[in-house]
Amino acid sequence: MIIAIDGPAGAGKSTVARRVAAELGVDYLDTGAMYRAVTFGVLAREIDPADARAVIEVCGQLELDVGVDRVVVDGVDATSAIRGPEVTSGVSSVAANPEVRSILVELQRAWVRNRGAGVVEGRDITTVVLPDADLKLFVTASPRVRAERRVAESGGDVDAVEASIAERDRRDETREASPLSISAEAIVIDTSEMSIDDVVADVLWRVQG
């Protein structure tokens, strides 16, 4: 069984994907962590994430190991750094780079081929990477709710966080290369008024009946 999950930042899709994978006893791939890992490698070489040519060159050379609990880039543990502010602000430019996308999409498809099952989560998984997945989900929530969840987790001002979430959505939805969009075949789950437990139960019910 291959489950593809897309959705905007902060909708709860990583938590849902991780928990569903654990319940089903299959592996989980966080493709956002792959774009973040490339961004980490780019910044480590003091390259501007907006310098498309230099970024492509680096991307082809990086040694990426994106695991569930650990991300290693060129032998350096980048697990926490990929969630930090430098990577978070540079990742949109890296993710807008079509050649970086095609390299990572191939790695993502190979990950699935090697396992034959799994939960893969990102922005273009149901539309581009795995349009033939057995179950395609679009997990979303209102920008306000996403901001409130982020603030409950790591603090900050809810209005400012909401504004930055809305800005990242806008960039992800309007970029030319594989913009975030909802596949006509995807089931939309709005988690604004659901707990994570509810969402996980809903997905498992769709898988197992």
Amino acid at 54: A
In a 13 Å sphere around the CA of 148, the CA atoms on its Cβ side amount to 8
Closest CB 9 distance from ligand DC, rounded Å: 5
Q: Which two tokens stand for residue 12?
A: 């709860």
Closest CB 35 distance from ligand DC, rounded Å: 4
C-beta closer to ligand DC: residue 12 or 24: 12
Closest CB 167 distance from ligand DC, rounded Å: 11
C-beta closer to ligand DC: residue 47 or 179: 179
C-beta closer to ligand DC: residue 170 or 205: 170
Q: Tell me the residue length of the chain.
A: 209
Buried b (16+ CB within 10 A) or exposed e, 123-134: bbbbbbbbeebe
C-beta closer to ligand DC: residue 132 or 209: 132
Residues that bind ligand DC (CB under 6 A): 9, 31-32, 35-36, 91-92, 95, 122-125, 172
For residue 5, count other CB atoms closer than 10 A to its CB.
27
DSSP code per residue over 141-157: --HHHHHHHHHHHH---
Amino acid at 195: S
Closest CB 208 distance from ligand DC, rounded Å: 26
